[in-house]
Amino acid sequence: MKSKASHRVVIVGGGAGGLELAVRLGRRYGAGVVTLVDATPFHVWKPSLHEVAAGTIDIHREGLSYAMLAHDNGFRFVAGRMTGADRAARQVQVDALRDSDGEEVLPARTLPYDTLVLCLGSNGNFFNTPGAEQYAVSLDSTASAERFRIELLKAVARKGRAGAGAAVEIAIVGGGATGVELAAELHEAGRTLAAYGLGVEAVPRLDMTLIESGPRILGPLPERVADAAREELVRRGVRVKEGCKVLEVAQGSLRTSGGDLPADLFVWAAGIKAPTLLRDLGLPVNAVNQLVVDDRLRTEDEAVYAFGDCAAAPWQGKTVPARAQAAHQQAAYLARVLSARIEGRSPPAEPFAFRDFGSLVSIGHAEGVGTLMGGLAGRRLLVEGWVARVMYASIHWSHYATVLGWWGATMRSLAQFFGRRSRPRVKLH
Ligand SMILES: Cc1cc2nc3c(=O)[nH]c(=O)nc-3n(C[C@H](O)[C@H](O)[C@H](O)COP(=O)(O)OP(=O)(O)OC[C@H]3O[C@@H](n4cnc5c(N)ncnc54)[C@H](O)[C@@H]3O)c2cc1C
């Protein structure tokens, strides 16, 4: 049903949650009602960023153009970075869009709204560690993951000149799911790079060290899952240092509580914080800049909603975890709340209730490990190996099914499968 409603919903952030919400509302109410703003022109699902960093996903092939998604799903897309909002006037400010040379492509714009939804995601949290922001890459955006990939290729070429036996040392700070997945993905990328040869004297090994300040990797997951992941990583030659705090990052080395560690490349995957611009909206935020929302995902301002990584929503005495799974469920809930708002109906009586289905961690393309919650078992169930990996891939698929439709997502998967036979397995340029 396309609406003639005059209500204007502006969604800022077309990531795991925001894009799904824009698609759900756009299909129903059309571009006159629903506007999506994003700082980038195309969408890559954030849980794939470790694959972008390792080169096993090519953003230029896999990224989905927002302009296409807007056309196919009936919402309006505005390209540009939100810089602030005038809540009294109900307007969002969007910065000018510039090309890589700084030339202005689109001017700064002001977008009026009746309902504003903020889903800006999160950035890496360096916890004021000296040198971290300068020398380490955080996998918090497609651009930073792509930057790491290029640095990796350059390091491989440089070390390759040294002849046989050389290694590119990669320090990954943070033993959560992102750090674990990246270490495993880089291990596979290293084997592929060695097979291609890359035109250097001898392709260096990729030597990974995964550093976790807590007593063990995958802290929030059950010990059995962490043990299985550690075993798998160690089997692949990844050094796992637990209970080791990074004190400083410098060019070529890390100072840690367990001594100095030389490294060519650093990845920071040790925590998140929401974008600082959220502090300037005059709304309550927590210590990591997340907007405080109620159990209806609404801020103190009745016209402003927030969800996903940039929001602190109550859940079991804590806040809803920053996961794609949560953003997906919140998008489905908000679609119902905002439909009622657009149509002038009473909102659904029930609050948002996060349902934890467990966590799956991909360990390369053939292995996975994780837990499933509830369901038939009614308790935690450990899953490992290819079963866990297939389940992990199916979560990825279901995001694309939401935004492209079942048929579109299936065709996309088939195109990827067959395309891989005619392309290098790691992006080499
Ligand atoms: C490597 C990696 C692996 C992960 N694996 C998993 C996993 O297996 N399972 C899981 O549940 N979660 C996983 N996560 C976490 C998950 O990706 C996030 O929780 C999820 O993406 C949050 O969704 P979101 O919509 O809040 O934000 P995002 O998906 O980060 O989207 C935010 C969007 O906002 C846009 N944006 C930001 N600032 C502005 C601005 N000022 N103006 C306009 N647009 C802006 C960005 O361009 C982006 O498109 C992983 C994360 C990483 C980095």
CA 215 to ligand 1 center in whole angstroms? 27
The residue behind tokens 């300040």 is 213
Instruction: State the Cα–Cα distance between residues 187 and 205, nearest whole angstrom.
Output: 9
Tokens representing 285?
């935020």
CA 120 to ligand 1 center in whole angstroms? 8
Q: Which atom of ligand 1 is nearest to the CA of 359?
A: 9
CB neighbours of residue 373 within 10 Å: 14
Q: Which atom of ligand 1 is nearest to the CA of 325?
A: 11
Ligand 1, CB within 6 Å, residue ranges: 12-18, 37-40, 46-47, 49-50, 81-82, 119-121, 139, 177-178, 181, 275, 308-310, 322-325, 327
Q: What is the pLDDT along the chain (429 residues), one digit of tens a residue?
A: 444 568 999 999 999 999 999 999 999 999 999 999 999 999 999 999 999 998 888 888 889 999 999 999 999 999 999 999 999 999 999 999 998 888 999 999 999 999 999 999 999 999 999 999 999 999 999 999 999 999 999 998 888 887 777 889 999 999 999 999 999 999 988 888 777 776 667 788 899 999 999 999 999 888 988 999 999 999 999 999 999 999 999 999 999 999 999 999 999 999 999 999 999 999 999 999 999 999 999 999 999 999 999 999 999 999 999 999 999 999 999 999 999 999 999 999 899 999 988 888 888 777 888 887 765 545 677 888 888 888 888 888 889 999 999 998 998 888 877 776 666 666 666
Architecture of domain 9-122+274-343: 3-Layer(bba) Sandwich (3.50)
Instruction: State the Cα–Cα distance between residues 10 and 18, nearest whole angstrom.
Output: 10
Residues of the chain with CATH 3.50.50.60: 9-122+274-343, 132-270
Cα torsion at 168, 218, 146, 51 (round to 10°)?
Answer: 90
Which residues in 113-146 are b (16+ Cβ under 10 Å) and which e?
bebbbbbbbbbbbbeebebbeebbbbbbbbebbb
CA atoms within 13 A on the CB side of 150: 8
Which pLDDT does position 428 carry in this prediction? 62
Which pLDDT does position 368 carry in this prediction? 81
Which pLDDT does position 5 carry in this prediction? 62
Of the residues 20, 46, 50, 392, which should be mutated to test ligand 1's pocket, given the most ligand atoms within 8 Å of the CB?
46
Instruction: State the Cα–Cα distance between residues 229 and 232, nearest whole angstrom.
Output: 5
- Which superfamily is assigned to 132-270 in CATH? FAD/NAD(P)-binding domain (3.50.50.60)
Give, using CA atoms, the residue closest to atom 52 of ligand 1. 47
Give, using CA atoms, the residue closest to atom 14 of ligand 1. 47
Task: Find out whether 327 and 309 touch, Cβ atoms under 8 Å.
Answer: yes
CA 46 to ligand 1 center in whole angstroms? 5
CA distances from 42 to 25, 141, 183, 295, 331 (A): 19, 12, 26, 31, 19
Q: Which atom of ligand 1 is nearest to the CA of 142?
A: 47
Task: Find out whether 371 and 224 touch, Cβ atoms under 8 Å.
Answer: no
Which pLDDT does position 425 carry in this prediction? 63
- Tell me which residue of 122, 403, 111 sits closest to 269, measured CA to CA: 122
Which pLDDT does position 159 carry in this prediction? 85
Of the residues 120, 139, 185, which should be mutated to test ligand 1's pocket, given the most ligand atoms within 8 Å of the CB?
120
Q: What is the largest CA-CA distance in the chain?
A: 70
CB neighbours of residue 231 within 10 Å: 12
Which pLDDT does position 417 carry in this prediction? 78
CA 309 to ligand 1 center in whole angstroms? 7
Which pLDDT does position 90 carry in this prediction? 98
